[in-house]
Structure 1
Amino acid sequence: MPLHITTPLIESLPLSAHAGRDVWLKMEAAQPCGSFKLRGVGLACETHVANGAQRLVSSSGGNAGLAVAYAGRRLGVPVVVVVPETTPARARELLQLEGAQVQVVGASWQEANAHAQSLLGARDAFIHPFDDPLLWQGHASLVDEVAQAGLVPDAVVLSVGGGGLLCGVALGMQRNGWGAVPLIAVETHGAASLHQAMQAGHTVELPAITTVATSLGAKRVCEQALRWSQERPVHSVLVSDHSALTACERLMDDHRVVVEPACGAALAVVYEQHAALQAYTKVLVIVCGGATATVEQIRQWRWAAAPQ
């Protein structure tokens, strides 16, 4: 049995009525550790442990680390998670609750990742938060579940950080015959590494991450995500932090689910009836989740991000 669960696929009547089109939600926030990350991370952890790994090491701003910690606890192996200083206290508490050893190093994920790499011993396995074919293979299973339910959307909307979810969803769409179905890839303005890469034709390192959606905070998107954008229909959309946070609050009202601003970015495209949706009548939104934000935080961030 995989470590992840089959998540609900629901038709959202509130979003459908608001957007004037059929909107379906793949509720990855329902995963045991709170996000889609468990699909790919779980597969990677199981694979490495089966191959003899005796400790799992991860670098993560939150959700990937939580998935590694959960997987390690379930598999009975110790876990070290290195997080940057920007990681919320809530995320650190959840990691410790799962039994992981948490180390806080650096101002960005890149610095935390460099430290995590330095910890690796001969019997350790490193679990990358987004750039690993094992992750993409695991994440693809969420599309398999949608296809098995009989839904074929006109477009799929998802948030993009390092690109692991995009790579997995694109792989899942390809193997289910959805290669021509567009992906609407959403980032906040302060973490637009895919958008910059698509404009430049090659991956670009952002000078800084300037968004409250820290789960999107990879300064450089993975190469495979850029390749998918060149090989299949991918439309890049940018939204503001305020839009992402407003979408989080509206999802609470509509579906009684709390998600992070990183997830709110994808939802904002629907709630704001973005022009990117104009040509489509049946839209699937990946509600990727996120366990590290609280209702109070979301409201504080939204107040601070409100247009002046």
Structure 2
Amino acid sequence: MDLDRLWDLIRRANEAVESFVHRTPLVSSLSISRLSGNSVYLKLENLQKTGAFKVRGAFFKIYSELDRCRRYGVVAASSGNHAQGVAYSASELGVRATIVMPETTPPYKVNATRSYGAEVVLHGSVYDEAYERAIEIVSSTGAAFVHPFDDPYVIAGQGTIGVEIASSVRDVDVVLVPVGGGGLVSGIGVAIKRVLGSRVRVVAVEPRNSPKLYEALRCGGPVQVQVRPSIADGVVTKSVGELTYKVMSEVVDDVVLVSEDSIARAMFLLMERAKLVVEGAGAL
């Protein structure tokens, strides 16, 4: 995808989401700074509406196709934060939402999604089966599908985090971003490079148990990887997206693979020293 067009979408998204999402704090951490020997700042998207950054991309996608969405509704497939982000955004914009979730989804996640007014369809035992059912619903109803990462509007919505970082701290050397399907690091990477320049290194971080971006860059394109269970389950996917790979190959400077033990220790460190309770994917 043309990065100029994506940057234009990010700027549009930044205006669109301004009054809808929280501009989450970017706080310095003295403890982590001392441990690392660098000045470390934490972007607290765990304090975002619905508890995760996903609401940014979901909102901008629905907002950008609002006439169609209000007429036919929206559909998404997810077992976690994306489901709640779509459900909440749709509710705020007056749009019907249908979320297909695997039958194995924990009840509290199903209930949280329903609490935002979405219709929840439980189908299949894994995400791929839920995704197939979601596409069937889209085909039969004409609803808009809100992809969790491989969509320019979703990427642009997530990229507003990069705009906020760049406007808060100008003297940035490295930005570390967790990577699942790649929507978050794609959007942040484009925004950071455009505002602060190419001197700033964007580093993608993923579990060693799910090295989809590492393998994609090594092989020259998205590949299916064998994944193992991870405490950072929110970023465990078999592959990065086709669109996100193209963007990441231009804006990501390095990939770091993290062990399960290191993720767990990071979660404990954030709880003990920063008083933050975060999921494994957020601790990457």
TM-score normalised by L of structure 1: 0.80
One-letter amino acid matched to 2:120: V
Structure 1, residues 121-150: CA drift from partner, whole Å, max 9, x if none?
A: 444111000100001111111111122224
Trace 1:5-154 onto structure 2 (pairs within 5 A): 5-54=22-71, 55-120=73-138, 121-154=140-173
- Please say if residues 40 and 136 of structure 1, whose CA atoms lie closer than 8 Å, have aligned partners that are also in contact: yes
**Corresponding residue of 1:164:** 183
One-letter amino acid matched to 1:61: S
**In structure 2, do the counterparts of structure 1 residues 27 and 38 end up closer, same or farther at CA, with 3 Å as the change threshold?**
same
Equivalent position SS for 1:53: helix
**C-alpha distance in structure 1 between counterparts of 2:115 and 2:26, whole Å:** 29
- Please say if residues 271 and 277 of structure 2, whose CA atoms lie closer than 8 Å, have aligned partners that are also in contact: yes
**Corresponding residue of 2:218:** 199
- Please say if residues 58 and 68 of structure 1, whose CA atoms lie closer than 8 Å, have aligned partners that are also in contact: yes
**Is 1:218 aligned to 2:237, yes or no?**
yes
One-letter amino acid matched to 2:125: A
**C-alpha distance in structure 1 between counterparts of 2:168 and 2:283, whole Å:** 25
Question: Which deviates more from structure 2 when the two are superposed, residues 93-102 or residues 6-15?
Answer: 93-102
Structure 1, residues 76-113: CA drift from partner, whole Å, max 9, x if none?
A: 22211112345333322211222222222233322211
**C-alpha distance in structure 2 between counterparts of 1:112 and 1:13, whole Å:** 43
* 2:197 paired residue among 160, 164, 178: 178
Paired residues in the alignment total 265
Percent of matched pairs sharing the same residue:
32
**C-alpha distance in structure 1 between counterparts of 2:199 and 2:232, whole Å:** 29
**Is 1:190 aligned to 2:218, yes or no?**
no
Equivalent position SS for 1:226: helix
**C-alpha distance in structure 1 between counterparts of 2:246 and 2:120, whole Å:** 34
**C-alpha distance in structure 2 between counterparts of 1:58 and 1:252, whole Å:** 32
Query: Gapped runs of 5+ residues in structure 1?
Result: 266-308
Equivalent position SS for 2:206: strand
Structure 1, residues 245-285: CA drift from partner, whole Å, max 9, x if none?
A: 221222122222221111122xxxxxxxxxxxxxxxxxxxx
**Corresponding residue of 2:5:** none
Task: Compare relative contact order (CA 8 Å, sep 6+) and give the higher one, 1 or 2.
Answer: 1
Equivalent position SS for 1:10: strand
**In structure 2, do the counterparts of structure 1 residues 107 and 45 end up closer, same or farther at CA, with 3 Å as the change threshold?**
same
Structure 1, residues 195-250: CA drift from partner, whole Å, max 9, x if none?
A: 11111111111234532322112211012333344324521111122321221222
**C-alpha distance in structure 2 between counterparts of 1:192 and 1:86, whole Å:** 24
**In structure 2, do the counterparts of structure 1 residues 22 and 150 end up closer, same or farther at CA, with 3 Å as the change threshold?**
closer
One-letter amino acid matched to 1:75: L
One-letter amino acid matched to 2:28: E
**In structure 2, do the counterparts of structure 1 residues 85 and 161 end up closer, same or farther at CA, with 3 Å as the change threshold?**
farther
Query: Gapped runs of 5+ residues in structure 2?
Result: 1-15
TM-score normalised by L of structure 2: 0.86
1:114 positional shift: 1.1
Comparing both structures, which one devotes a greater share of its residues to helix?
A: 2
1:14 positional shift: 1.5
1:49 positional shift: 2.0
Equivalent position SS for 2:209: helix
